[in-house]
């Protein structure tokens, strides 16, 4: 009796493989886009924060970036997502949440954290390196580009991957929203689910909630393990100058 039940669950999950596949794709698309947006925002904001405050424009930008980071870090991600989805999209643009909302929301969220990571990476490089470059007649920009950033990147990689991993998992928050893909089958708008969303939905409709949740958990785990592998490879490539 119990044997058949187990086989049923297994078959059931197998039948839903394509649904999980698409859900994984949605999760990865949201996370991927958010990482790219986050990295861009992070790099730009960190550059503003570390730049010498020689003119008023930089100083004003620095204040704005500071405010952005404070707000993003000071409020929950889900709240930011809901504000962007409900307040901005529905009230201002009168459209429903689509996949660009979580991409944008997580990107903006992650950008604040990445800005701080890049800034701390820059600050972790010994001041003497900058001074040595400047004393040779190199500009602040040239020294930063050739000497400081390559060294900062090395120290930043583990923390950035940490942030990326958190981000991938945090995208599960979108299961609170119904995501509408603008490019559904046959050009129609279609509702899709992320990994946690599909597990939740299928679990509820089949009654085998636990099995679906554990499957989703395992898929997240595999994704994170793959990311860790990528991190190790990159770290190894950057550690040449440490070798003795």
Partner 1 sequence: MIDVRNLYKNFGSVKVLKAVSVSIEKGEKVAIIGPSGSGKSTLLRCMNLLEEPTYGEVWINGRLITPVDPYLHPEIIMSSKTFRKMFKERMSAVKEGYMTEQELAAMLISEIKKHDFLRRFEGGEYRRMMRDLSRTYGENVDKVRRGIGMVFQHFNLFNNKTVIENLMLAPTLLGLESKEKAKEHAMHMLRRIGLEDKAYVYPSTLSGGQKQRIAIVRALCMNPEYMLFDEPTSALDPEMVGEVLQLMKELADDGMTMVIVTHEMGFAREVATRVLFMDDGRIAEDGTPEQVFGNPKNARLKEFLSKVLP
**Interacting residues toward partner 1 by CB under 8 A:** 126, 128-129, 131-139, 142, 146-147, 150-151, 154, 240-244
- In angstroms, the CA 123 to CA 106 distance is 26
Min dist CB 59 to partner 1, Å, is 16
101 versus 160: smaller Cβ distance to partner 1: 160
Question: 176 or 238, CB closer to partner 1?
Answer: 238
CB of 154 to partner 1, least distance (A): 8
Distances (CA, A) of 191 to 8, 81, 182, 208, 242: 27, 18, 9, 22, 50
Output 188 or 244, the one with its CB closest to partner 1: 244
- In the complex, the smallest distance separating the C-beta of residue 51 from partner 1, rounded to whole angstroms, is 16
- Which is nearer to partner 1, 1 or 136 (by Cβ)? 136
**Is 174 in contact with 194 (CB distance < 8 Å)?**
yes
Considering the complex, state which of residue 68 and residue 140 has its C-beta at the smaller distance from partner 1.
140
Q: DSSP letters of 108-142? A: HHHHHHHHHHHHHHHHHS-HHHHHHHHHTT--HHH
CB 58 within 8 A of CB 51: yes
Minimum gap (Å) between residue 120 Cβ and partner 1? 18
State the nearest-atom distance from the C-beta of 191 to partner 1, in Å.
Answer: 49
**Helix/strand/coil for 192:** strand
Residues written for the chain: 244
Closest by CA position to 107, among listed 34, 163, 3: 34
């Amino acid at each position: 009796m119990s044997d058949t039940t187990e086989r049923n669950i297994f078959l059931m999950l197998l039948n839903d493989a394509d649904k999980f596949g698409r859900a994984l794709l949605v999760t990865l698309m949201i996370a991927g886009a958010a990482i790219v947006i986050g990295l861009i925002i992070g790099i730009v904001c960190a550059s503003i924060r570390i730049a010498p405050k020689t003119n008023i424009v930089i100083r004003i930008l620095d204040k704005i970036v500071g405010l952005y980071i404070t707000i993003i870090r000071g409020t929950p991600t889900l709240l930011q997502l809901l504000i962007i989805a409900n307040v901005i999209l529905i009230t201002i643009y009168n459209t429903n949440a689509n996949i660009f909302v979580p991409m944008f929301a997580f990107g903006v969220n992650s950008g604040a954290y990445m800005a701080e990571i890049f800034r701390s990476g820059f600050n972790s490089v010994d001041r003497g390196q900058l001074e040595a470059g400047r004393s040779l007649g190199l500009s602040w920009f040239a020294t930063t580009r050739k000497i400081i950033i390559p060294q900062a990147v090395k120290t930043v990689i583990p923390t950035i991957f940490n942030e990326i991993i958190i981000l991938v998992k945090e995208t599960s928050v979108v299961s609170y929203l119904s995501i509408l893909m603008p490019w559904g089958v046959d050009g129609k708008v279609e509702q899709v689910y992320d990994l946690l969303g599909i597990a939740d939905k299928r679990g509820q409709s089949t009654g085998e909630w636990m099995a679906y949740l554990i499957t989703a958990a395992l898929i997240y785990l595999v994704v994170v393990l793959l990311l860790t592998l990528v991190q190790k490879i990159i770290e190894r490539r950057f550690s040449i100058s440490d070798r003795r």
